[in-house]
Amino acid sequence: MSKTSAKASISTTLLAGISLWRRDVIRFLRQRSRVVGALGTPIIFWVLLGSGLGKSFRASGGADGVSYSEYSFPGTVILIVLFTAIFATISIIEDRREGFLQGVLVAPVGRSAIVFGKILGSSTLAVAQALLFMVAMPLAGMTITLSAVFLSFATLIIVSVGLSALGFVIAWRMQSTQGFHAIMNLFLIPMWLLSGAIFPVSGAAGWLGWIMKVNPLTYGVAAMRYALYGGSVDRIGDVPSWSVSLAVTSGFAVAMVTLSAWVVDRRN
Amino acid sequence: MPPESAIEIASVSHSYGDRRALDKVSMQVPSGRICGLLGPNGGGKTTLFKILTTLIAPTSGTAYVGGCHIVERQREVRRKIGVVFQTSSLDRHLTATENLIHQGHLYGLRGKELQRRAALLLELFGLGDRSHDRVAIFSGGMQRRLELAKALLHQPEILILDEPSTGLDPAARRTLMDHLHELREESGITTLITTHLMEEADRCDLVAILDNGRLVGMDSPTALKRTIGGEVLTISTANPIKLVEQIKDRFEITASIVDGQVRIEREQGHAMVGDIMDAFGEKIESITVGKPTLEDVFFSLTGHQLGNKSTVGLAQAETMR
């Protein structure tokens, strides 16, 4: 391929990807139930867990004086991202079933445009909703600082891309949304439960602790925890270091995006 | 390859596991023609459609679309073809215009030029005043017209349609075919359309007949019908199997059973009506004389009917033995 045509190919892929991204955002805003599902469910979890466990919670690995609402706040932010990524990637299955995808598959653009558009669309929605939820930080006894917002924004992008790409890899070959729901219940939700979102690694039994240590989302939740405190470590408790958390989370995102690009290019 | 062939298919075979969907199909579609690909469901039409639109690569054989090899120059083939699928490829949550703008972006079109072209096509297909309505509230016919507009947006040389009239009423079907003819007159576009409907195939310049993955005939509808010649007698009776035997004993003519009716193909079919009525009048409910249709052509080439293949095959087997 000559240099100019390679350039043309990149710009057509970009144009197609951006168009697919825009479409996903428009569709999301036109389907109110999806907003409720992705934002509402995690908030209800958080309120109920906070009120129910608040009194009995004594985090062995948590910092002193941290309420359960506060402890579970970063995990809730990550759950919003996870739910949004799940719903956004389920739309691939719907696109396939409703026939929209067939038109994209015969267009003269690389399939990487589909990966690019979907992951970007899903991440945009996830980051926007998670930032919106951060307005509730004072309810958990946390202070919203400028550095918290900036660091959270950056961290959310990395976590969202990783989880969206993970959803993409799972959804790409699936024929039915029921199949995805099964995976969600058997794999994605446990992955979140065992990420330090609702109980710390140090509080888990031996084998469970090990699962939590190899769970990449543990590092995503930890990174989110650091970011929400604007980098201050007083109330963080016993979690992996910030640099390790960011490195693992970024590595996970890169790996998942690469995997997405690979599955989408395999011929049927 | 010669430039006058818009589509050139050379010995294309395709198998899904053990099942052979296409068996050494070779054919050419000349530029600027409307070619119908006629066959029963499961005959191989959709497989050939998928191969020509680069969705799957054939197990063996080669094909050129617009002069480009379908596997080696896939991207160029995709740019040259406009595709209409059997099922909708529209986004129901988007408006007609939004669907077209998105499609344009996939083909590298953008900005003012894209908007102008989208508006023009919506106008052409009678959707101008509905351009800002969501596709979800469109009728089946409107959605199909929008699909056609979508396929034509990037000004393709070749239009490939897979059973585009699925789910349309006869009037909407005719409108769709009218549009294809108008497009051909105006832009000289080549069209390949798969169908299992006779009336649709009848309106094509060329008809290729596919059955069990094989190409069993290809010519203009008139020429195909001429191969049968003469007339077709169709007789309704309570016991067609018995009548076929009786006709054979009495007139030494081989009749067949199609759709529960007795059929006779004869050069001077109408002259036989009197003789048959004289001989079996009391058993006959009705008798009609007709010119051969593509249905008859299909039957004579394959030995079975286009539609309910299995039941006819059974009746055939019974009468043959």
Location of structure tokens 């998105």: B102
Sort out which chain A residues have CB atoms less than 8 A from B103's CB and list them.
103, 107
pLDDT digits (tens, 9 = 90+) for B272-308: 888 888 888 888 888 988 888 888 888 888 877 776 4
Sort out which chain B residues have CB atoms less than 8 A from A100's CB and list them.
89-91
Integer angstrom CA distances of residue A187 from A181, A191, B292, B306: 10, 6, 62, 49
Q: Does A247 touch chain B (CB under 8 A)?
A: no
Give me the count of residues in chain B.
321
Higher pLDDT, A209 or B229: A209
Chain B residues contacting A via beta carbons under 8 Å: 53-57, 75-76, 78-79, 81, 83, 85, 87-94, 98, 101-103, 105-108, 110, 150
Highest mean pLDDT among A70-79, A152-161, A200-209, B228-237: A152-161
Tell me how far apart the alpha carbons of residues A97 and A47 are, in angstroms, rounded to a whole number.
36
Pairing of strands B231-237, B206-211: unpaired
Domain ranges of chain B: 5-219, 225-320
Burial A135-168 (b: 16+ CB within 10 A, else e): ebbeebebeeeeebbebbeebbebbbbbbbbbbb
Pairing of strands B206-211, B214-219: antiparallel
Higher pLDDT, B296 or B10: B10
Mean pLDDT of A211-236: 90
Model pLDDT, residue A58 = 62
- Residue B37: strand pairing partners: B194, B208
- Residue B62: strand pairing partners: B10
pLDDT digits (tens, 9 = 90+) for B44-88: 999 999 999 999 999 999 999 999 999 999 999 999 999 999 889
Pairing of strands B206-211, B60-65: unpaired
Would the pLDDT of B3 be above 60?
Answer: no
Which of A100, A104, A109, A267 should we substitute to test contact with B (largest number of B Cβ atoms within 10 Å)?
A: A100
Which of B49, B59, B105 should we substitute to test contact with A (largest number of A Cβ atoms within 10 Å)?
A: B105
Higher pLDDT, B252 or B107: B107
The amino acid that residue B253 corresponds to is: I
In this structure, what token pair is assigned to residue B305? Answer: 């009917």
Fold of B5-219: Rossmann fold (3.40.50)
> Is B107–A27 a contact, with Cβ atoms under 8 angstroms apart?
no
Would the pLDDT of B316 be above 50?
Answer: no
In this structure, what token pair is assigned to residue B118? Answer: 């989208």
Please name the residue of chain A whose CA is at the shortest distance from the CA of residue B101.
A19
The amino acid that residue A32 corresponds to is: R
Q: Does A102 touch chain B (CB under 8 A)?
A: yes
pLDDT digits (tens, 9 = 90+) for A114-155: 999 999 999 999 999 999 999 989 988 888 999 999 999 999
pLDDT digits (tens, 9 = 90+) for B182-209: 989 988 999 999 998 888 899 999 999 9
Domain ranges of chain A: 9-265
Location of structure tokens 């706040």: A73
CATH classification (class only), B225-320:
alpha beta
Nearest CA among B160, B203, B161 for reference residue B182: B203
Model pLDDT, residue B319 = 39
Sort out which chain A residues have CB atoms less than 8 A from B90's CB and list them.
99-100
- How would you classify residue A141: left for phi > 0, otherwise alpha for psi between -120 and 50, otherwise beta? left
